Amino acid sequence: MASSSRAFSLLAFTISLLAVLSTVTAHNITQILSESPEYSSFNSYLSQTKLADEINSRTTITLLVLNNGAMSSLAGKHPLSVVKNALSLLVLLDYYDPIKLHKISQGTTLTTTLYQTTGNAPGNLGFVNVTDLKGGKVGFGSAAPGSKLESSYTKSVKQIPYNISVLEIDAPIIAPGILTAPAPSADGLSNITGLLEKAGCKTFANLLVTSGVLKTYESTVEKGLTVFAPSDEAFKAEGVPDLTKLTQAEVVSLLEYHALSEYKPKGSLKTNKDAISTLATNGAGKYDLTTSTSGDEVILHTGVGPSRLADTVVDETPVVIFTVDKVLLPTKLFGKSPSPAPAPEPVSAPTPSPAKSPSPAEAPSPVAASPPAPPVDDSPGGAPSDSPTSSEDSKAKNAAFHVSASAYVTVLVTLTATSIFL
């Protein structure tokens, strides 16, 4: 009887833990806001600017939403890149629910926003002032000196404790100069080679010009453009093919393989689950990419080798340019990555006699006899072998949020079964 009681208690605990995991490991801001029609305009712009992907990729966040009336001061009146900056200032990189808003230490605080992480916010313009006012009101404003608390908290929309909080405010938070940034254009990107050279990608920039692929890039700007630019060091790395031995058509395909005809910032790449078509794609999967993540890092997989997103050169909707640490080599041109060689036998291990093969029971364990496994090949299922050690530290820090629920199921069900038979 006691065993059955323990088993029931453990099973109940398992179900409760899984319920918690399902809320901690994922949220979908588009779905959350779709339940409230008064935020339809705000929700639409989150999707258009890809901010929804960035929000969904984070585990501790507060979103300050505007209803359709308040959103009208931004919607349709500014370029999409400007609206994205303004909305990024409403994404707080900390968790604030209604209770915490009224328990701010000393009544006021400056909190970091998503806008601060873009590199477009000079000084402290990417911070927001949150102040608990008298009479139960809470005000929000830019952290820039002399800025007023021009926005007020109106109501709570949704909380998934310590993961995401959605709060309504009555007006946008406008940092100085945030609404006057020019929109990117093909003419504005005519100096794309200058941006790439400044970012340490001179070899790639020269190839774009001499091959004529730069014009292909520029022709896609209005619809969206994502560029993965290898650094100069990447072209000098071991294993990079001699490009002078490629035909002109192959060089063009290689360079087009380094760009997408859509705007796909880092947040979108982090949440991506499907194969991504590149400018070189002209058939089923011939020039596709896949992605995986390691902590906050994004790794691109070609089938030949992995490449890590290093830095963001520019991110202005609808254009984003990244630097990557490896040249992207498509399987169409360079074949698949070779399978790992079989693990060699240890030097000290005796050669078994062919006349007397050991029985399965006597055979030594292959795990014990094998040396360390060879480096992993290019597979999005796990981190590549050349991932920096810092990414492992990052994964360890975030393990509590990204652990698979199925692992908990296996362990806890095993414990439940054990307790039943005790």
pLDDT of residue 296: 86
pLDDT digits (tens, 9 = 90+) for 282-298: 866 589 999 999 888 99
* 386/183 Cα distance (integer angstroms): 37
- Distances 407 to 299, 394, 418 between C-alpha atoms, Å: 24, 20, 17
Integer-rounded Cα radius of gyration of the chain: 26
pLDDT digits (tens, 9 = 90+) for 130-186: 999 978 899 999 999 999 999 999 999 999 999 999 999 999 999 999 988 665 555
What is the pLDDT at residue 122?
84
Residue 66 and residue 167 in contact, taking contact as beta carbons nearer than 8 Å: no
Listed in sequence order, the residues at least 6 apart from 249 whose beta carbon sits closer than 8 Å to its beta carbon are none
Both tokens of 1, joined, read 């009887």
Residue with tokens 């039943």: 420
**Range with the poorest average pLDDT among 165-169, 189-193, 351-355, 363-367:** 363-367
| Predicted TM-score of the model (pTM) | 0.64
- Model confidence pLDDT, tens digit, residues 3-52: 555 545 555 554 444 444 443 447 899 999 999 999 999 999 999 999 99
Measured between alpha carbons, how far is residue 66 from residues 51, 108, 132 in Å?
15, 22, 20
Give just the sign of the alpha carbon dihedral 255, 260, 265, 268.
negative
Q: Where are the domains of the chain?
A: 29-169, 186-324
Q: What does the H/E/C string look like for the chain?
A: CHHHHHHHHHHHHHHHHHHHHHHHCCCCHHHHHHCCHHHHHHHHHHHHCCHHHHHHCCCCEEEEECCHHHHCCCCCCCCHHHHHHHHHCCEECCCCCHHHHCCCHHHEEEEEEHHHHHCCCCCCCCEEEEEECHHHCEEEEECCCCCCCCEEEEEEEEEECCCEEEEEECCCCCCCCCCCCCCCCCCHHHHHHHHHHHCCCHHHHHHHHHHCHHHHHHHCCCCCEEEEEECHHHHHCCCCCCHHHCCHHHHHHHHHCCEECCCCCHHHHHHCCCCEECCCCCCCCCCEEEEEEECCEEEEECCCCEEEEEEEEEEECCEEEEEECCCCCCHHHHCCCCCCCCCCCCCCCCCCCCCCCCCCCCCCCHHHHCCCCCCCCCCCCCCCCCCCHHHHHHHHHCHHHHCCHHHHHHHHHHHHHHHHHC
Average pLDDT over residues 331-355: 56
User: What is the distance between the alpha carbons of residues 110 and 384, in angstroms, rounded to a whole number?
Assistant: 38
Say if 29-169 and 186-324 have the same CATH topology.
yes
Residue 132 CA, chain-centre distance (Å), reads 33
CATH 2.30.180.10 for the 186-324 domain, yes or no:
yes
> pLDDT value at position 390?
36
CA atoms within 13 A on the CB side of 72: 4
pLDDT value at residue 191: 78
**Residue 398, pLDDT score:** 38
Q: How confident is the model at residue 341 (pLDDT cuts 50, 70, 90)?
A: very low
Dihedral Cα 351, 356, 360, 362, nearest 10 deg? -70
User: Does 318 sit behind a cis peptide bond, omega within 30 degrees of 0 on the bond before it?
Assistant: yes
> 29-169 has which CATH code?
2.30.180.10
Q: Quick: pLDDT tens for 75-132.
A: 888 888 899 999 999 999 999 999 999 989 889 999 999 999 887 788 889 999 999 9
**Is the per-residue pLDDT at 396 higher than 60?**
no
